Structure 1
Amino acid sequence: MTLARRCLLLALLGTALPALAAPLSEADLRAQAERFVAQQYAAPGSRVEVKSEALDPRLHVADCAVPLAASLPGGLRMTPRLSVVMRCPVADGWTLRVPVTLKVWRQVLVANRPLIRGDGIVATDVHAEERDVTRLPYGYVASLDQVAERSLSRPVASGNVLTPGALGGRQTVRAGDHVQLLAELDGIAVRAEGVALGSGDSGARLRVRNGSSGRVVDAIVRGPGVVVALP
């Protein structure tokens, strides 16, 4: 039955005509896809930028009498380019993909200076900076709370974003700890009490004040509460 004949029949029966959807333009479709993506990644402290790409000019999108359904096949994994599936959720409805570019700006921690393996992270080592996190495939660290008492498992260059993968275990020695200071020479070990002036994991280099002489020496962390003086 044609639409005209159906409308005439409904009118004769005194039944209200269904509301017909307005023509769906490419601009409407793209705008809906952009709003959907922006809502998915919106979060306090974030700034989201979404821009859809032009569709194939040969594509003609039929009207849809119900609201469109949108989804992201890959989940909410943040990447610079996404494909939004737009669907007319009715029997024999259509489905198409709208490509979009995504930017999600968030505050991340960036190294102020070259950081070496075993270093503990303190406030003066890093600063917060707004970065597009869709371009940080190895993740990022957003606050100092995430690195409390942690040491680095790998070096981080000045200006680089601090990543979760760069963080090792909890610091074996922390600044202010009383440690056992070992001085080894020709197989002879001399022990003294000291106070750590820095923090780090096993293998980290830090400075230690000798508790007896007051002299400050460079040392390597050997284990919990134990450091070895460097020659």
Structure 2
Amino acid sequence: MIRRVAAIAIVVVLAACPPVAAAAEQSLEAIRDSAVTWLKQNRTLPGARMVAEADPLDSRLRLAACAAPLEVSVPGNRPISARVSVVVHCPAPGGWTARVPVRVHMFTDVLVTTRPLARGDGLGADDLRAEERDIASLAYGYVASLDQVGGRALVRPLNAGTVLTPGMLAGRQAVRVGDAVSMEASVDGVMIRADGVAMGAGDTGARVKVRNASSGKILDAVVSGPGSVAVLP
């Protein structure tokens, strides 16, 4: 009888005690949202439109609810590409750090060729048009403004519809292919000038071939300035 009363008392005591609350967990969805929101607010280029989607985190991941605002960053301040690893950190005591893979698309206008172009061609407004492209997927970069191509020539031929990249452009050209140039040559100490046509392109100091407009003879020369070359002996 005594044992029975004691057992009933234990049951009553246990029933009277409130259940132990489970530790609050951090929402994985909130972690993903914070990574996407931070990217859109801090890494979208002026005039561009970003579309970002975080990959699902491992559902087995259990993190304590963070008592402080989450801190978000991209390691090394790397340029934004199509796949970005975003670090989300809980700065509270005993906090945690999670890495969130995010797929990124960033759309803005870039310059695209309007027609086939040859190596050495200079570029003008008629050769290029602006089109919206996903620059996050352009591994070799892009050119956004005609100001970036003025006075420069192509280092290789391009098909129509090609996105122009910085690596496709040579240095600024003082002389371009087909330009009329003034040729200067020193013969026995006497400076002789003649009209010619550039067969190559380059900035001051570059070596190019030129054709004498009168004789048709092909000569080696060095670019001495805009529209002028010094014929080599």
Relative to the length of structure 2, the TM-score reads 0.69
Cα separation, partners in 2 of 1:99 and 1:127, compared to 1, 3 Å: same
CA distance in 1, matches of 2:125, 2:74: 38
In the other structure, the counterpart of 2:157 is 155
Task: Indicate which of 19, 34, 37 corresponds to 1:35.
Answer: 37
Tell me how far 1:123 sits from its aligned partner.
0.6
Q: Are the equivalent residues in 2 in contact too, given 1:147–1:167 (CA < 8 A)?
A: yes
Tell me how far 1:33 sits from its aligned partner.
0.9
Cα separation, partners in 2 of 1:113 and 1:221, compared to 1, 3 Å: farther
Count of paired positions: 191
Task: Indicate which of 166, 178, 184 corresponds to 1:164.
Answer: 166
In structure 1, runs of 5+ residues without a counterpart are 1-21, 182-190
Q: Calculate percent identity across the aligned residue pairs.
A: 47
CA distance in 2, matches of 1:61, 1:107: 41
Q: Which has the larger radius of gyration?
A: 2
Task: Indicate which of 107, 114, 117 corresponds to 1:115.
Answer: 117
| Superposition CA RMSD, Å | 3.5
Deviations 1:22-66 (A, max 9, x none): 853222111111001112222321001110111111112210111
In structure 2, runs of 5+ residues without a counterpart are 1-23, 184-192
CA distance in 1, matches of 2:160, 2:182: 32
Amino acid at match of 1:162: L
Q: Are the equivalent residues in 2 in contact too, given 1:118–1:204 (CA < 8 A)?
A: no
Amino acid at match of 1:119: D
In the other structure, the counterpart of 2:189 is none
In the other structure, the counterpart of 2:8 is none
Q: Which moved more, 1:119-128 or 1:72-81?
A: 72-81
Question: How is 1:29-178 mapped onto 2 (pairs within 5 angstroms)?
Answer: 29-173=31-175, 178=180
Cα separation, partners in 2 of 1:38 and 1:56, compared to 1, 3 Å: same
Cα separation, partners in 2 of 1:204 and 1:46, compared to 1, 3 Å: farther
Cα separation, partners in 2 of 1:222 and 1:169, compared to 1, 3 Å: farther
Tell me how far 1:112 sits from its aligned partner.
1.1
Q: Are the equivalent residues in 2 in contact too, given 1:115–1:157 (CA < 8 A)?
A: yes
CA distance in 2, matches of 1:110, 1:98: 34
Tell me how far 1:166 sits from its aligned partner.
1.1
Cα separation, partners in 2 of 1:220 and 1:194, compared to 1, 3 Å: closer
Tell me how far 1:118 sits from its aligned partner.
1.2
Amino acid at match of 1:126: L
In the other structure, the counterpart of 1:12 is none
Give 3-state SS (helix, strand or coil) of 1:172's partner: coil
Amino acid at match of 1:41: R
